[in-house]
Amino acid sequence: MHQPETTPRDSIWYTYRVFPFRRPAELDGAEGMQPVVVVGAGPIGLVTALNLARFGVPSVVLEAEQQVSHGSRAIVLTRRSMEIIQQAGVAAPFLAKGLPWSDGRSFFRGQEVYRMVLPHDADDRFMPGLNLQQQYIEQYLVEAVQRSPLIELRWGSKVVAVQQHEEHAVLRVDTPQGDYDLRAAWVVAADGGRSAMRRLLGLRMEGRAYAGNFVIADIRADLPMPTQRLCYFDPEWNPGNNVLVHRQPDGIWRLDFRLPEGETAEQALAPALLAERIDRILAMVGHPVPWQLDWATVYSASTLTLGEFVHGRVCFTGDAAHLLPIFGVRGANTGLQDCENLAWKLAFVVRGLAPPALLTTYSTERVAAAREICEEGGKSTRFMTPPSAGFRLMRDAVLSLALEQDFVRDLLHWRTSRPHSYHHSPLNSFLDDDARFGGGPACGATLQNVKLGEDDFLFDHLGSGFHLLAFAGATPSAEQATMLRAVRDQKAPLVRVLVAPQPTAEMAALADVVLADPGGRIAGRYAARPGAAYLARPDLHVCARWLSPGAAQVGQALATACGRAAA
């Protein structure tokens, strides 16, 4: 019998709540088929369930524990992650609590050798980074899940066996009151880096693990420093290694440093040694203030991914699908892009709007992204934790040169997680005018947000489904009006957004959303002349754009993007 911890976890700043186990009907013999079961109530599993609900698909979420994340773990959300969280309808508490930032500084021998301000476009609503402890991330998502009538979150429910069938899977679920079988047409495995689902299906990841252990320690300390990424190479107290410092809400600071060669996790976490090192780090940042430890752990870097994310009726997502180096905030942020890609496709398949083959493109698009990240993250990792004498010598040479020479400094670039482009996706239209645009987001890229006014952005006006972003002049042309009327009755949900310098009553009848663009700011960002249109998938990636499309072209592009063979 599964016995999850029912005493609230220790923390000096976060009050853990133990969520009750509720006896499900299956334990008393109920049978039935769930359309989707999500395994894991971490950030990725919860956002998957919220997105499925947004597309009208109910789900059951199984979580082995009865409380949120032990320790703060993922603490930086990128702009793209916040856009995903906004689309899921839960951004408000994140913005109220999180600490936004854009500035990173790297030091060597007491001198700043690299400074990078992450680009922030005036048209972006969210800053490049938002620091927030994983406990809060999960808490806000759980609160949203509890408000949704389409999601049933089952705490204290651990998957111990999986059976795959032709058109469903059966999960054996162990609970504090016994175990039961749960049948699901589809299963989303979002159960994290140590995924039980991955183990139960006997799947192996490809790639490499890096030697070298790192300590993460969260302390409460009153440090008078702004929110930014601080990196110290080769500090006097830890020769050859490096230290990262990040600010979190509630006066908590994340310290992250590499252990000297040969030291074990157990030695590094011994209270006396850890305390001595924390004192040295605080002296190094120039503020030797009193502090209190909340949580510490040891990790190592990997660039590992499954070669396929969909196995039978089980779709892997987030850390369950790949293990990426944390340099460049690639864990949760990659996972959020995974599940944004997966949720609409799975919802469309469940609702019969698309064939199951659509899920193959989830695997190909996100495996390609994971491999790109392994490649990029590998570069940062080889700099942060040199895997051999040659890499260590070169790293030391670059740091020494960086004290006086600019030309090497870009090697200290820390390559943050970014939105991936699905430029080669089979869901893109190849009969469109992509190459004829003089700018704007190309096929495969995400839509560009645009500031419309004070606290008012383009993305605030988007809904759930495909979006056709059409641009009109003073009045829509006859062809454009015909197209907008005709595309209304699509099999797939389609939101028609009409952008015009001055909206008219006629326009309101042609579109679901009409946006005033008096200064031509939106049209400018999309390099769009009157008549042009963009088709974006529900995850806001562009899949077709035209200078002047007809309804047939839009319909065909929609069918292609839903994985239905073009007529």
Partner 1 sequence: MIPKKLSTAELEAVYDLLSDAIDAVPQDQREVFLAKLALVLANMVGSPGQVAAAVKAAAANLGPRPAD
109 binds partner 1 (CB under 8 A): yes
For 24, 49, 59, 172, 178, the CA distances from 28, given in Å and listed in that order, are 8, 25, 20, 15, 10
For 151, 294, 322, the CA distances from 71, given in Å and listed in that order, are 26, 8, 21
What is the maximum alpha-carbon separation in the chain? 77
Q: Are 145 and 61 in contact (CB under 8 A)?
A: yes
For 77, 446, 498, 535, the CA distances from 509, given in Å and listed in that order, are 39, 28, 10, 20
Compare residues 167 and 375 and give the one whose CB is closer to partner 1. Answer: 375
382 binds partner 1 (CB under 8 A): yes
Please report, as a single letter, which amino acid is at residue 535: L
Compare residues 2 and 379 and give the one whose CB is closer to partner 1. Answer: 379
Least gap, CB of 262 to partner 1 (angstroms): 19
For 25, 32, 185, 198, 400, the CA distances from 180, given in Å and listed in that order, are 10, 12, 17, 20, 61
Q: Are 104 and 116 in contact (CB under 8 A)?
A: yes
- CA torsion sign for 80, 84, 85, 89 is positive
408 binds partner 1 (CB under 8 A): yes
Q: Which residues, numbered 240-259, are part of the site for partner 1 (CB under 8 A)?
A: none
29 binds partner 1 (CB under 8 A): no
Q: Which stretch binds partner 1 (CB under 8 A): 97-105, 402-410, 499-507, 510-518?
A: 402-410
Q: Quick one: which of 337, 378, 208, 310 has its CA closest to 563? A: 310
431 binds partner 1 (CB under 8 A): no
Compare residues 68 and 243 and give the one whose CB is closer to partner 1. Answer: 243
Q: Which residues, numbered 435-494, are part of the site for partner 1 (CB under 8 A)?
A: none
Least gap, CB of 265 to partner 1 (angstroms): 27
287 binds partner 1 (CB under 8 A): no
Compare residues 284 and 495 and give the one whose CB is closer to partner 1. Answer: 284
Alpha-carbon radius of gyration of the chain: 25
Q: Which stretch binds partner 1 (CB under 8 A): 46-54, 298-306, 381-389, 443-451?
A: 381-389
Q: Which stretch binds partner 1 (CB under 8 A): 81-89, 315-323, 401-409, 466-474?
A: 401-409
Q: Which stretch binds partner 1 (CB under 8 A): 16-24, 98-106, 304-312, 397-405?
A: 397-405
Least gap, CB of 302 to partner 1 (angstroms): 19
406 binds partner 1 (CB under 8 A): yes
Q: Which stretch binds partner 1 (CB under 8 A): 49-57, 92-100, 396-404, 517-525?
A: 396-404
Least gap, CB of 268 to partner 1 (angstroms): 24
The helix/strand count (H/E) of the chain reads as 14, 26
**Contact partners, residue 244, CB within 8 Å, separation at least 6:** 229, 230, 231, 232, 254, 255, 256, 257
Q: What's the CA gap between 130 and 144, in Å, rounded?
A: 19
Q: Which residues, numbered 220-239, are part of the site for partner 1 (CB under 8 A)?
A: 236
Pair of tokens at residue 509: 């009848």
393 binds partner 1 (CB under 8 A): yes
Q: Which stretch binds partner 1 (CB under 8 A): 131-139, 158-166, 406-414, 500-508?
A: 406-414
Least gap, CB of 393 to partner 1 (angstroms): 6
110 binds partner 1 (CB under 8 A): yes
418 binds partner 1 (CB under 8 A): no
Q: What's the CA gap between 326 and 333, in Å, rounded?
A: 10
Q: What's the CA gap between 295 and 12, in Å, rounded?
A: 9
Compare residues 413 and 521 and give the one whose CB is closer to partner 1. Answer: 413
Q: What's the CA gap between 146 and 141, in Å, rounded?
A: 9
Q: Which of 389, 478, 505, 567 is in the footprint of partner 1 by CB under 8 A?
A: 389
Pair of tokens at residue 252: 């908590």
401 binds partner 1 (CB under 8 A): yes
Classify residue 254 as exposed, middle or buried by CB count within 10 Å of its CB (0-12, 13-18, 19+): buried
Q: Which of 211, 403, 552, 566 is in the footprint of partner 1 by CB under 8 A?
A: 403
Q: Which stretch binds partner 1 (CB under 8 A): 79-87, 260-268, 387-395, 461-469?
A: 387-395
211 binds partner 1 (CB under 8 A): no
Q: What's the CA gap between 445 and 456, in Å, rounded?
A: 22
Compare residues 233 and 257 and give the one whose CB is closer to partner 1. Answer: 233
For 366, 545, 563, the CA distances from 361, given in Å and listed in that order, are 8, 20, 8
Q: Which stretch binds partner 1 (CB under 8 A): 131-139, 154-162, 389-397, 506-514?
A: 389-397
Q: What's the CA gap between 26 and 32, in Å, rounded?
A: 9
Pairing of β 151-154 and β 59-62: parallel
499 binds partner 1 (CB under 8 A): no
Least gap, CB of 333 to partner 1 (angstroms): 22
Least gap, CB of 240 to partner 1 (angstroms): 12
Q: Which of 379, 423, 461, 491 is in the footprint of partner 1 by CB under 8 A?
A: 379
Q: What's the CA gap between 184 and 37, in Å, rounded?
A: 6
Least gap, CB of 370 to partner 1 (angstroms): 20
Give me the residues paired with residue 293 across strands. 219
Compare residues 152 and 234 and give the one whose CB is closer to partner 1. Answer: 234
394 binds partner 1 (CB under 8 A): yes
Q: What's the CA gap between 502 and 517, in Å, rounded?
A: 7
Which residues of the chain form contacts with partner 1 (CB under 8 A)?
Answer: 109-110, 236, 379, 382, 386, 388-391, 393-394, 398, 400-401, 403-408, 410-411, 413
